């Protein structure tokens, strides 16, 4: 089964959440609003059909 990402930015954001530990810390590091981080995590989880955090 091949996994296809709609946007690799979602993966980058998920990586930063994992590295930073929180959505807020990741948002600050990426210089975006925390709701953007949450939206991208939700998109990636939907693409993978799996819960990541």
Q: Which residue has the higher pLDDT, 53 or 21?
A: 21
The rounded Cα 10 to chain-centroid distance in angstroms is 5
Residue 19: count of CB within 10 angstroms of its CB: 10
**Looking at per-residue confidence, does 1 or 47 come out higher?**
47
CA dist., res. 22 & res. 7, Å (int): 21
H helices of 1-53, in order, are 8-20, 23-30, 34-48
Residue 7 pLDDT: 82
DSSP conformational letter for 50: S
DSSP, res 31: T
pLDDT single digits (tens) 4-39: 667 899 999 999 999 999 999 999 999 999 999 999
């Amino acid at each position: 089964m091949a996994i296809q990402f709609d946007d690799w930015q979602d993966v980058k954001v998920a990586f930063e959440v994992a590295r930073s530990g929180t959505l807020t810390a990741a948002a600050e590091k990426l210089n975006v609003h925390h709701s953007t981080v949450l939206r991208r995590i939700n998109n990636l989880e939907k693409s993978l059909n799996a819960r990541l955090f």
